Structure 1
Amino acid sequence: MTLFNLVHFTRPEWLLLIPIVGLLGVLFTMKATHQGLKQLIAPHLLVHLTHEHKGHNLNKWLGILSSLLLCLGLSGISFDKSSTPLYVAPNKTIFVVDQSLSMYATDVRPNRQTKAKQILRDILNQDMEGEFALVAFAGDAYVISPFTQDKQTLIHFLVALDPVIMPLYGSQFHKGLELATGLLDPTDTNAHIIAITDELNDQDAAFMEDNGRLSNLKFDVIALGTEAGANIRVPNGETLRRNGFPILAKTPVEKIQQATNNIGGNFYTHDLTPTDLKTISQSSDFSDARDAKDSGVLGVTWNEQGQWFALPFLLWMLWQFKTRALFVFLVALPLLPQQGKATPMDWFKTPDQKAQEAVNLGDWEEARALFENPNWKAASHYATEDYDSAAELLREFAHSPEEYYNLGNALALKGDLDDAIEAYKSALKQKPNFKEAQQNLEYLQDLKEQQKQQQEQDNQQGNQQNKQQNTPDKTQQNSKDNPRSEDENQDTQSQTQDKDPLNQDNQSSSSTEQDNSSQDMSSSQETQQALDQWLRQIQDDPGTLLQRKLWYLHQERRNENRFNEEEGMQPW
Structure 2
Amino acid sequence: MIDWLPLHFLRPAWLLLLPPLLLLGWWLRRNSARASWQRLIAPQLLPHLLVSGGRNSGGNVMLLCILLLATLAAAGPSWDREAPPFAERQAPLLIALNLSSDMDQQERGVSRLERAKLKIHDLLAQRPGARHALLAYAGSAHLLLPPTDDATLFTLYLDSLSTELMPRLGRDTPALLQVMDQLQAESSQPYMRLLISADVEEGAEAALANSHSLLWVAGGDSDALSSRLDSPVVAMRNDDSDLPALLRALDASQRLARQDDPDSRWHDRGWWLLWPAALLLALRLRRAAPALLLLPLLQPGHSEAAELELWRLWRSEPQQAMQLYRQGAYAEAATLFSDPRWRGAALYRASNCEAALAAFEQGTDAEDYYNQGNALSCLQRHSEAAERYQLALALRPHWQQAQENLQRALLLVARRQQQHAKDADMDADDVRNDLERKRGVSVTEQQSREQQTELWLDNLQGSPAGYLKRRMLMQLTPQEGQP
TM-score between both structures, scaled by the size of structure 1: 0.33
Structure with more relative contact order (C-alpha pairs < 8 Å, separation 6 or more): 1
TM-score between both structures, scaled by the size of structure 2: 0.38
